[in-house]
Structure 1
Amino acid sequence: NLLWCRPKTKVYELTHKAFIGKIVYPSLSHHLELKHHVILCDTEKISGKKPRNKKQKDMVNLKINVKDFISYID
């Protein structure tokens, strides 16, 4: 939880282009003096029926290259 992080903690937000306009985590990180980074991921659609409480853009799995991610955070 971001609220309990110490100032200057690095925060990596994994997301996709449908959510790039969301400002909750960047804004909260800014006010808490955290180092927020957004990493855009490729997506893979989740098959099957969409639950009633979910939006269609939520129905994806994020795909990330683990080696690239590790080199980015080092």
Structure 2
Amino acid sequence: MIEAMIQGQENPETLSEMAKGKLKSKKADLQRAMHGLMGIHQKIMLDTQPIHPIGAESSRQSELHRLV
């Protein structure tokens, strides 16, 4: 879900369909929570979280940093 958001997916219904585990039963809550602004800053912040190996910058990170 986060990867899709970073890549530009903004549709709450589409994003909530990607829910896994316990979140599957909370799709309506997810949809309500996802309404709002997801700008370049928020995408950079999500993309720079420590889900990537330390020292490895993804091509998305490079592109997002270039845009700022």
TM-score range, shorter chain: under 0.3
Bigger fraction of residues in helix = 2
TM-score, with length taken from structure 1: 0.26
